[in-house]
Amino acid sequence: MTASVPREKQRVTAAEWIERAGAVQPRTEAFIDGRFVPAASGRTFPDIAGRDGSKIADVAEGGEEDVNRAVAAARASFDDRRWSDRSPADRKRVLLRLADRIREQRDELALLESLDVGKPIRDTLAVDVPSAAKTIQWYAETIDKLYGEVGPTGPDALSLVTREPIGVVAAIVPWNYPLIITAWKLGAALATGNSVVLKPASQSPLSALRLAELASEAGLPDGVLNVVPGPGAIIGNALARHPAVDKIAFTGSTEVGKSLLRAIGETDIKGVTLEMGGKSPQLVLADVGSIEAAASSIGWGIFYNSGQTCNAGSRLIVHRSIREELVERIAALGRDLAPAEPLDPATRLGAIVDERQLAKVLGYVELGRTEGARVVAGGERVREDTGGYYIPPTILDGVDNAWRVAREEIFGPVLTVTEFDDEDEGLRIANDSPFGLAAGLWTRDVKKAHRLARRLRAGTVWVNTFDASDITVPFGGFKQSGFGRDKGLAALDGYTQLKTTWLDLSDD
């Protein structure tokens, strides 16, 4: 007799995931002050699935009045200290319960994420949902392990340095990794006692709304977490200009980040962290150890998530002597990664998020041709008959670093290839970018690796690997990739302020 396999351990087939997708009934209203409510205007917008262009649901289209309601709820919850004054142990228990609830709802959250943004269900199940849960758990564990300081003031005075929450945080997150990046911001903000208004991207509102419900079930007080979906130009601007918002925590494009800075500068002074665009170089020296290993990491570093990753290694800067072999190996990997149905567990490359982003990516490929690049792989829309938005791994060879395709963020599975002859030239090309989010460096010379890693102007430098990470280390960029950090203990600095309390102990 064959033992039965627990349902959670069984492999769900593509047909079963597609059947579940047809029956999905997501939360679609704004979440304000502990309950779901329609937009004040009554308007909705269609949430479209990248996999086939179908409508998933009509979602509440928030506006300025909804922002005002959400900020008022967050302000009230912060001012009466219903969350920040809870004991560290109590806040820790709530966030640990939230992490558990995320894990319990893994299949539902993974399906919502895959439907919203077109990424393979195997990735949302194995990466996105577990990463979000781990992040919330990790920040929960920091709550009762952070200490203040006593200043060296001498016997007649006592100076205490303590961390205090910054207040009402407006977290604005993108559509490429909605759950993961939302967890980065919520974990640090809630662990330090803040109240939050979360603005998810219009392309990916569903997991954020469900997450708010799970947080409420875990015991987070009403008003501490509010979610307002809707157009970024309206909601983001309203949050940036709102006098009761104390902090903007933004991840997204450099253009939108600049617009938020302008709005803040015109109206207010508030805390800001920005994690913005990237055009990360993969600097491959002639003495690279294994071309095969480099090709695999570099290929996955740009093709994973259909290239819709802020730190994607989108610029290959390679020594002339190994360019041909390396490019061919990356192209071969790309040919094995044909885009397919995201809800098929065998699929490794899914869809572009929406039609607008697909048109942008294809426009850059055509621009590359016009500028003089050779398209050696991909470059055309595929699976058009599905109604979805798909483009295969694409390589533009012979690119001059001054061309737009080498300097502007494409945000698709498009790799540009630029040659160099000597180490200094390669380093100069790698650093010649308005962005500085991440970089890859490939050499078997450990001294050279240390020396060049220090000279690469990027927030993260990977040596002989790419996109390896952990919640324990900070993430953020230099130059137009922004300032401030997500992840790690460094993120807590962005959600707290230091207070000095001075006590006079003299007898006078």
Distance separating alpha carbons of residues 56 and 21, to the nearest angstrom = 9
pLDDT at 83: 98
Residue among 61, 275, 341, 419 flagged as catalytic: 275
Cβ 244 vs Cβ 75: under 8 Å: yes
Residue 275 designated active-site? yes
- Name the nearest CA neighbour of 170 among 246, 276, 95, 224: 246
Distance separating alpha carbons of residues 383 and 369, to the nearest angstrom = 22
Helices (H), 336-409: 355-371, 404-407
Which whole-number Å values give the CA distances from 347 to 106, 113, 116, 122, 298, in the listed order?
A: 19, 15, 16, 7, 19
Q: Helix or strand or coil: residue 181?
A: helix
pLDDT at 289: 87
pLDDT at 507: 86
Cβ 295 vs Cβ 398: under 8 Å: no
* Angle (nearest 5°) at CA 92 between 88 and 93: 120
Residue among 310, 341, 409, 419 flagged as catalytic: 310
Helices (H), 308-395: 323-335, 355-371
Per-residue pLDDT of the chain (508 residues; tens, 9 = 90+): 233 333 444 589 999 999 999 999 999 999 999 999 999 999 999 999 999 999 999 999 999 999 999 999 999 999 999 999 999 999 999 999 999 999 999 999 999 999 999 999 999 999 999 999 999 999 999 999 999 999 999 899 999 999 999 999 999 999 999 999 999 999 999 999 999 999 999 999 999 999 999 999 999 999 999 999 999 999 999 999 999 999 999 999 999 999 999 999 999 899 999 999 999 999 999 999 899 999 999 999 999 999 999 999 999 999 999 999 999 999 999 999 999 999 999 999 999 999 999 999 999 999 999 999 999 999 999 999 999 999 999 999 999 999 999 999 999 999 999 999 999 999 999 999 999 999 999 999 999 999 999 999 999 999 999 999 999 999 999 999 999 999 999 999 999 999 999 999 998 7
- Helices 178-191 and 106-117 cross at an angle (nearest 10°) of 120
pLDDT at 294: 98
Q: Helix or strand or coil: residue 252?
A: coil
- Name the nearest CA neighbour of 207 among 137, 132, 122, 277: 132
- Helices 254-267 and 232-241 cross at an angle (nearest 10°) of 40
Residue 384 DSSP label: G
In angstroms, the first-to-last Cα distance of the chain is 87
Residue 29 DSSP label: S
Cβ 144 vs Cβ 89: under 8 Å: yes
Distance separating alpha carbons of residues 31 and 160, to the nearest angstrom = 38
- Name the nearest CA neighbour of 74 among 226, 236, 271: 226
Cβ 187 vs Cβ 135: under 8 Å: yes
Left, alpha or beta for 298 (phi > 0: left; psi -120 to 50: alpha)? Answer: alpha
Tokens (6 digits) for 252: 């997204």
pLDDT at 10: 53
Cβ 438 vs Cβ 459: under 8 Å: yes
Tokens (6 digits) for 189: 């903000």
Q: What is the 3-state secondary structure (H, E, C) of 129-155?
A: HHHHHHHHHHHHHHHHHCCCEECCCCC
Tokens (6 digits) for 373: 């690049």
Q: Helix or strand or coil: residue 423?
A: helix
Residue 213 designated active-site? no
Residues contacting 269, CB < 8 A, separation 6+: none
